[in-house]
Amino acid sequence: MKRRTLTAASDGTLGDVLAVALKLPAGAIAHLIAAGAVYVDGRRCRDAAARVKAGAQLTAVLEEAGRPAGAGAPSGRVLTVLFEDPRVIAVDKPPGVLAQPGPSGGENLLALVSARLGHEAGLVHRLDRETSGVTLFGKSREATSDLARAFREGRVTKRYIAVVTAELPDSGEIDLPLSRDPSRPGRWRATRKANGLEAFTRFEVVSRAGGATLVALFPKTGRTHQLRAHLTALGAPIAGDRLYGGADAPRCLLHAHQLRLGELAIEAPVPGDVSTFTASPSR
């Protein structure tokens, strides 16, 4: 581990004091702070705007296990901001990016958004790595708490779209509990034969073209792998979802299309690998 410990020469914000002391660009300093690699008087601080006094002991972890601290977080990727106000920010999560730091490292959305804000963002819901679309963050502890409460109380309406290669009825409801699949680590099963967690999804077919079906999904609950497991239970796993036996595709073709909370409505454009299946209306 490579770290730098120094004494603040003057009063100021944590970001400004570190930028002067370490002679690093403001963006690099914001990344270190957002990644949790900076300590003030022995306590981790993720807020670049936090005030520090002259004489404070600052520690910045620059490398861990031979890699830059927070490696893989903000790596030049440009975030697509869908909505922002003083309390919240919504971004379009690219496929292949983790929602939050994982044990294997790699780029993650939480670090990207935190670096943009200059302090730690509040992640209140998570999309799987290969899933794209709307992801909402709180910009303060109070805002994050309010958003988390809205999700828990079911006041957030979500619309996903997915591509499957099996026939589905024009619409329907899936009311099947979810439990871990003992035969497949990391996979969930939708069945009433186990003591699972309540899960409910409504679906509507959007289009059918070339043997593929584009389906809109409206989850009432927010369980891990809920949409993936529910569609698999119908015999229609999502294309590209290798864990659940989906047809070949570059990635799991699941997209968080819309999110509504009160008067706030946010939509992420349909990505190209999904939009090719929208050309032929089903009815």
Residue 128 appears among annotated catalytic residues = yes
From the number of C-beta atoms within 10 Å of its C-beta (0-12, 13-18, 19+), residue 248 rates as exposed
SS3 state at 234: coil
For residue 210, which amino acid is it?
Answer: G
* Strand, coil or helix: 169: coil
- What is the spatial distance between Cα 36 and Cα 31, in angstroms, rounded to a whole number? 9
In Å, what is the CA distance from 283 to each residue of 201, 205, 233?
Answer: 22, 9, 25
How crowded is the C-beta side of 87, counted as CA atoms within 13 Å? Answer: 7
Mention every residue, 6+ apart, whose C-beta is less than 8 A from residue 199.
174, 175, 176, 177, 178, 190, 219, 221, 223, 226, 229, 230
| CA-based torsion, 60, 63, 69, 73: positive or negative | positive
Of the residues 47, 128, 181, 241, which is catalytic? 128
Structure tokens at 201: 């999804």
| Residue 224 identity (one-letter amino acid) | T
Mutual orientation of helices 14-22 and 26-34 as an angle, nearest 10°?
120
Could you give the CA distance from residue 96 to residue 128 in angstroms, rounded to a whole number?
Answer: 9
- Active-site residue list: 128
